[in-house]
Structure formats: structure tokens, C-alpha cells
Amino acid sequence: MDVRIAQHGKAEGELEEAITRYQEILATEPGAAMVHHQLGEVYFSVRRLPEAIASIQQAIKLQPDLAAPYKTLGNVLLAAGNLDAAARSYAQAVALAPDWAEAHANLGSALYRLLQMEAAAECYQKAISLNPNLAGVWLNLGNLWRQQGQINQALDCWEQAITLNPQIGGPQLHIKMGNLLLARGDYPAATASYQQAVDLDPNSTAAYSNLGSARLYQGQFQEAITAFRQALQLNPNSAEVHCNLGLAITRHGQQQGQLSEATFNEACTCFRQAIEIQGDLFAAHQGIFYLLTTPYPGNFDFEILRKSADQYRLFCPPAYQLIATTAVMMTYLVSGYYREAKDIFLEIEQNFSQSEQLPDKEIIAQLIYSMLLFGAYRLRDDLKSNSRLSLLLGQIYADYLRETGFKTSPTENIVGWASPGDKNRNRLLKIGFISPNFWRHSVSWCSADVISELAQISPHIYFYYVPKKVKEDDMTARFKSIGTKFYRPNQAANGLAKVLVEEILQDDLDILVDIDSATEPLHAQILYGQPARACISWLGFEAPFISEQNYFLSDWHTHPQGVEKYYREKLLRMPDCFAAVAGFKSHSLNREAVRTAMRIGAEQVVYLCAAPATKLNPELVSAQIAVIKRVPDSVLIYKGRGDIQAIKSLYWTACEEQYVSAHRVKFLGITPTEEEHRTIYGIADVFLDSYPYNGGTHNLEALWFDLPVVTKVGEQFLARMGYSFLTTLGIAEGVAWSWEEYVEWGVKLGLDESLRHHLRERLRASKQPDNLAPLWNPRKFARDMYGIFEQLIND
């Protein structure tokens, strides 16, 4: 019987008919090796694998020098899951036909599945060298490189595959390419890949969703919103897309400089829908948590913020209640509802102490850690209790990092570590600074002058900028001009903390300084990783309580002898003060004209409280009202961020209780720039500091503009900042150790004009170059700081 009839049946898809024909041929010609091979191929096509193997093996037995049967046998064995045997069969085909590209490619696929990646790559590359037009081999080689983490090689291979066959891999390949490009930070190229996936399959939810993500990372928020909405039209039950839409809406509102009530509510709804679909979607909880706890302009309707937080607490699954409860606490705190915020804080703290099993460590590490620290030090001045909570949170965070494989880098493993006697020990130090706030922000105002002076001592200054949203201004430009390196990582990178640790390790730093201590959880991870020979926390609001190997920079006024037992980090103390600045710029001011416009007479004593609502509490407000009560015709100006109605209610209640006219308290709105804000110090006569969280930048600004300060000294660092500033200036007037003293100093400074004048003259004298006070001498501070750093490295 003519074998061509059987081959025709095989070609036309009439496989059962072809099998019959081949069997009939073999009944009369049992020694026809190629017929056995072709029959095996047909058996393989209909998934009759045992018969296929038997037929092909018979062909090999009859004619063992033919390469084709070995390749086909490899295909069958691969389909049967017998990888080792398949690889051996392909290897035999290659041995018999060394120039057969497809055989090399198939051997590569078998070795790939056997996880013999290096050998597989060699096979694929050999196949391509023999026949560069094999799109499938380029595709497979790209997959191999991707699995090996060789992103550039993977992308190059996939692009070649698509060039040869635009349809290869379908939309999924373009999505995979987009994912790699996104991780690499090439957002435009990622967007183009996802757009190609959309073009290939307009009904692909994944394509639209990923396109939205790429737009989101590029800051093209409106385009991201459009893509996410398209994805939801295709699949309204995707929790992840609802979550990402919420993020895009939030950031679009922030990009426009305001978050309207409608936008805020829409974003909340997106996160709520995501959580209702998938209650354990951590990203959705993160999204709504940050939406609720992000600072908002003073004219934002904080009632909406609190109501949304209360609602979140109601629909939040039990496993995530800690997140919701903390969000509620924060919304009340930033609004100015001190009592409510403190009650919720104490409820959270009590649950910690009473719970047999601590809350989920990831929740603590990623969200709760810094927020509870933020609340604790604003809601009470109790060094022992706050330290106990901080140590617990820091330990949970450290345990989480260790359990998730986040490793530290002991100094002996750091490249270039200077051992005793090493000639490199005397080289200039390499000092890095990490912050999300290298822009017009309090920590920048308080650190830029010092860092500029450090750069005069050692030119090796490195900056690592990790903003939650990209924000650059003239202060950013200043830092860039100071440093050897200004590094901003790709925010889309997986394991951002590890990426930063690796970057810092490569820079071989002696010192790494976090200038936002305890305010950013990501920084705690980096410090835990110890990527420099000494890791130090500075400024921010407290030590991170994350590692006994690290340090916290302060001074002897904020941290007197004996408080070491309350910290996990080792304390470093500056000889004068924990901060120094060269001054602040302000717009010019016509004091009389402005006071007249505010209906304040030239002879009236004006007290100023400049503090956000998070620093207000009934005791503080009551003391301030007690001051103006005893100073006839005096007025108090309040300026700060928060729910202005809640803040007014706090002051008006105190006025009512002390029989003081509420008209004697004036409230000012937030100004667009710091230079405009600082004109307020020229209007006032006395600055009334906040407690238990003293003013940092506000106190420094007040003192720079020669305004006497009244500050209450407490137990903890943040309640001793004002004391540190005044003591460093050699001023005891205004330092109070009780509320009674606070009121007495306020009254005395208000009634005694000569004392105010005397203090103003002393403050002016403190800025004179020939007698410059340490507080205004960043050059001295930098020298002292550098000396401490050298001692750390050389000990």
C-alpha cells in the first residue's frame, strides 16, 4: 500500500484513518523504519503515548543512525513527564545531527524543565546560532533569562521573538514584558507593552489593569483611572483593580493640590469595594489607611475624615481591626480631638498588653508601628510607658524582618571595612543621609545647614530619597548640589528596602543617618539591615527602637544621664544641642500695619501658639488661656493645621471655663510658603510652646526671629526640645517645670516689657559672628558631629 495515502490522511487531520493505513503498510513491510516513526508521530498527535513510544523505539531499533526519531521520541517522553529520558533522546538527536537547530532547541526545553539552566541556555543559544529565525526559541530563552533574574537579556529575547512573529505569546507576553519593564523603572516602555497587550486583546482585564499601574507609576493619574475603570467594566469583581483605582484617585487629587470631598469619598469607596470582595487584600487596607492618615490642608472637612474612619472600622474584617482602630485614632488626633484620640490609643495599648497573641506582625511593621509611636509621644509625657510600648513595637518589627528573611549586614562583612591598623582608617568618612523629605519640610530646614558644613569636611556625602510621592523644589536642588550622589530608587521595585540596602552597601558608607527617625517604617527596615558601618537616627520624632547595634543622636538636655535604659539604640549626645541652623528666611513685615489689620493695638501683648492640632490638648490650652487672663488686654494667636472648628471649640471651652472673652483668641489659616508663615513671629511678643510635644522647627523659628519662648519641660525627648534650645542659648527665662510655672513665665513675659526687650537683645547677640551661639552655628555642629562619627568608626 502506498505510504503517501497514510501521509495524506495525517496531513488532513484524519488521524485514525492514517493510523489504520500505517498499520496496514507495516503488516506487509515491518522493516520500514520511517513508517514506524510516522506512525509514532500520529499516535503522539492523538495522545496515545505508549503506542507512540513503542512505534518510535521500533524505528530507532531498525535504523539507529536517524536523528528524527530521537527528536520525536524526546517530544513524546517530554509530554509523558519523563524528563530525563526526553533529554537523553534529544541529546542523541543532536549527536546525530549537530546542525539541526530544532533538536538543540528541544534539548534546551528538556534541560530547562530539569532546572539545568546553564545547559539549557547553551542549547537555546546554539539553536539560534544555527537558525536565528526561530521565534519560539527566542521566546523560551527569554523565559529562561527571566527566571534567572536576567531582565535585560529576557527583554531582548522577547523583543526578537515578537519581531519574528508579532503574534507569538499573545497578550500575555506583552504583559510579562511590561511587568519586567515596570520593575526596571522604564515606565514609558512598560506602558507601550501593556498597550500592545490591550491592542491584541481588548477584553483582557489584566492588560488594562497593568496599563493602569504603569500610568500610575508615571504620575499619569487620570490615564491610570481610565485604564482601571476599563478593567473594572470587564471584571467588576477584581479587588486588586478596585484597590489600584482608589490609589490613582487619591494621587490624582493630591497632584491637583487638594483632595475634594467627592474625590476623597470616591477613593474610600474603591478601597471599601476591594475589601468587601477580598477582605485580606493587604494593599487595600494600606490604601485606605494612608488615605485616612495623610495630613490634609487646614480647610479640609475633617468631619468627613473621621466619619470615613469610623465606617472603615465597621466594615473592616476582624483580622485587620487594629489597622482600622489606629486609623480612627489618627483621624481624631490630627483633627484636634485629643480626648477621643487618647481613649482609642489607650484601648489599643490595653489590647496589646492583654492579648495572648500579638497582632499580625506584618500589620505592625507596615502600618501600625510608626503611627502608634506618633500617637504615644503626642498623647502623653510618660517616658516609662511610652518606652515600654516602643520597645514592644520595635521588637515585633525586628522579629518580622528576621522571619521574612531580611538580613543584617554585619560591619565585618562590609567591603573595605577598616580593621585596627588599617591604613584606610584615616581616610575621609563617607556619610549617607536617608529621608522621604528632601524638600521644603521641617527635617530639611533643620538639617540642610549642618549637612552643607559636613560636605566641607568630607566631600563624600550621599543622599537616598525615598518619597511616598515625588516632590522636588528648591530645597531638593540644594541637597543635590551638596552631595556626591542623590539616589531615588524605583518605587515599583519589589523589596524596596532591600534594594536600598544593596545600593548603600555598594556605596561602602561609613555612616548612614536617617533624618526622619521613626516616621517612616521603610527606614526602620533599612537601619535594621545595617548597610553602613554605623547607622544613626536623628531628628524625626524618636528613636526607632529597632536594633541594639544602631544609634540615636540627641544631646544631654533632651537625654540626661540615666535614660539609656529606656532605649534599644545606643544614645549619642552632641555637646551642645541636638540641632543647629544658620537661620530662616522670611518675607518683610510691617508690624504695625499687620497688627492694625488684625485689630490688634500697638500696646497689646500678643502671644503666639504655632502648632498642629496633634500637639494640642486641654491642659495646654487651659494654661495658655490662663496666661492671657492675667495679662490685661492681651491676645493669643493660634496658627496650625487641623480641624479649625475642633480647635476653636477647645480654646472657646477653656475661655468659658476661665471667664475670658473668646474674642481674645484669634485663629490664622495656613500660609502657602514657609517665608510667609514666618512673618507671624514679627507680629507676636511671646511664643507659647506646645507640650508634651514641643515645637521643633517652630521653636527654632521663634528664637531666630528674637521671640521669647515659654516651654514646659517633660520626661521624654519631645517634651524637652524647647528646654534644649533655650539652655543652649544660655536662657533660663521661660523654662517651666510645671503648668503653674508655664503660666507664671507667660504672665511675667507679658507684663514685663523690659524683660522681653532684654531677652530679644540676648537673642540678637546670640547670632553675632564673634559670639555665635551653638544653636546658630552649624559649622561647629558639623565638626562635633564628624568627630563623633570618626570615633564610632575608629573604636
pLDDT value at position 420? 39
CB atoms within 10 A of CB 290: 15
Beta-bridge mates of residue 573: 554
Collect all residues with Cβ–Cβ distance below 8 Å to 112 and sequence separation of at least 6.
120, 140, 143, 144
CB atoms within 10 A of CB 358: 14
Eight-state DSSP code of residue 516? B
- In angstroms, the CA 419 to CA 427 distance is 13
- In angstroms, the CA 193 to CA 656 distance is 65
pLDDT value at position 28? 73
Among residues 501, 503, 437, the alpha carbon closest in space to that of 467 is found at: 437
* Lowest-pLDDT range of 421-435, 491-505, 693-707: 421-435
Among residues 605, 645, 646, the alpha carbon closest in space to that of 627 is found at: 605
- In angstroms, the CA 332 to CA 240 distance is 29
DSSP per-residue codes, 485-499: EEE---TTSSSHHHH
Query: Quick check: 302 and 642 in contact, CB under 8 A?
Result: yes
Q: Tell me: the pLDDT tens digits for 44-96?
A: 777 787 877 787 787 778 888 887 887 877 777 888 888 898 789 778 878 98
The radius of gyration of the chain from alpha carbons, rounded to an integer in Å, stands at 35
Which set of grid coordinates corresponds to residue 395? 521588637
No. of helices (H) and no. of strands (E), the chain? 37, 13
Q: How far is CA 28 from CA 10, 35, 59, in A?
A: 20, 11, 16
- In angstroms, the CA 466 to CA 452 distance is 20
Among residues 716, 726, 739, the alpha carbon closest in space to that of 620 is found at: 739
Collect all residues with Cβ–Cβ distance below 8 Å to 625 and sequence separation of at least 6.
636, 651, 654, 655, 658, 660, 665
Q: Tell me: the pLDDT tens digits for 442-457?
A: 999 999 999 999 999 9
CB atoms within 10 A of CB 297: 11
CB atoms within 10 A of CB 173: 21
Among residues 72, 61, 79, the alpha carbon closest in space to that of 100 is found at: 72
- In angstroms, the CA 710 to CA 404 distance is 47
pLDDT value at position 254? 78
Q: Is residue 143 pLDDT above 80, yes or no?
A: yes
- In angstroms, the CA 446 to CA 582 distance is 9
Query: Quick check: 647 and 334 in contact, CB under 8 A?
Result: no
> What spatial distance separates the first Cα and last Cα of the chain, rounded to whole Å?
94
pLDDT value at position 105? 84
Q: Could you tell me the pTM of the whole model?
A: 0.84
pLDDT value at position 418? 45
Q: Tell me: the pLDDT tens digits for 518-532?
A: 888 889 999 999 999
In terms of DSSP bridges, do strands 686-688 and 606-610 run parallel, antiparallel, or are they unpaired?
parallel
The larger pLDDT score, comparing residue 84 to residue 731, is at 731
pLDDT value at position 61? 80
- In angstroms, the CA 719 to CA 216 distance is 41
The alpha carbon dihedral of 580, 582, 585, 588 has a sign of positive
Mean pLDDT value of segment 177-189: 86
Query: Quick check: 203 and 234 in contact, CB under 8 A?
Result: yes
- Confidence class for position 470, pLDDT limits 50, 70, 90: low
Q: Tell me: the pLDDT tens digits for 115-135?
A: 999 998 898 899 899 999 999
Query: Quick check: 451 and 461 in contact, CB under 8 A?
Result: yes
What mean pLDDT value characterizes the chain? 90
DSSP per-residue codes, 521-568: HHHHHHHHH--SSEEEE-BSSS-----TTSEEEEETTTS-TTGGGG-S
3-state secondary structure of 469: coil
Structural domains of the chain in order of their starting residue, each with its CATH number = 3-160 (1.25.40.10), 169-229 (1.25.40.10), 237-403 (1.25.40), 428-574 (3.40.50.11380), 591-775 (3.40.50.2000)
Which set of grid coordinates corresponds to residue 437? 523629605
Query: Quick check: 291 and 264 in contact, CB under 8 A?
Result: yes
Beta-bridge mates of residue 182: none
- In angstroms, the CA 46 to CA 43 distance is 5
Q: Is residue 629 pLDDT above 50, yes or no?
A: yes
Query: Quick check: 437 and 766 in contact, CB under 8 A?
Result: no
- In angstroms, the CA 493 to CA 241 distance is 19
Eight-state DSSP code of residue 295? -
- In angstroms, the CA 469 to CA 475 distance is 16
Among residues 769, 747, 737, the alpha carbon closest in space to that of 686 is found at: 747
The alpha carbon dihedral of 143, 144, 150, 156 has a sign of negative
Q: What angle do CA 514, 519, 524 make, to 5 degrees?
A: 55
Q: How far is CA 62 from CA 6, 7, 37, 130, in A?
A: 20, 20, 10, 29
pLDDT value at position 490? 74
Longest dimension (CA), the chain: 126
Mean pLDDT value of segment 227-239: 96
692 prior amide bond cis, ω within 30: yes
Mean pLDDT value of segment 223-240: 96
Q: How far is CA 627 from CA 598, 601, 608, 687, 755, in A?
A: 20, 18, 12, 12, 16
Highest mean pLDDT among 107-111, 303-307, 669-673, 778-782: 778-782
Q: Tell me: the pLDDT tens digits for 278-312?
A: 999 999 999 999 999 987 665 678 999 999 999 99
Beta-bridge mates of residue 638: 609, 667
Eight-state DSSP code of residue 606? E
Q: Which residue has the cell 487651659?
A: 622
Region for residue 115 given its phi and psi (left: phi exceeds 0; alpha: psi -120 to 50; beta: otherwise)? left
Among residues 570, 558, 468, the alpha carbon closest in space to that of 519 is found at: 468
Collect all residues with Cβ–Cβ distance below 8 Å to 32 and sequence separation of at least 6.
3, 25, 26, 62
- Confidence class for position 417, pLDDT limits 50, 70, 90: very low
Highest mean pLDDT among 69-83, 262-276, 354-368: 262-276
How big, in percent rounded to 5, are the helix, strand and coil portions of the chain? 60, 5, 30
Phi/psi of residue 230, each to 5°?
-65, -40
- In angstroms, the CA 36 to CA 57 distance is 8
- In angstroms, the CA 367 to CA 259 distance is 22
The one-letter code for the residue type at 702 is: A
pLDDT value at position 9? 45
**% residues pLDDT > 70 (the chain):** 93
pLDDT value at position 354? 66
Mean pLDDT value of segment 256-267: 84
Residues comprising the chain, all counted? 795
CA atoms within 13 Å, Cβ hemisphere of 115: 0
Q: What angle do CA 359, 365, 369 make, to 5 degrees?
A: 85
Q: Which residue has the cell 528596602?
A: 497
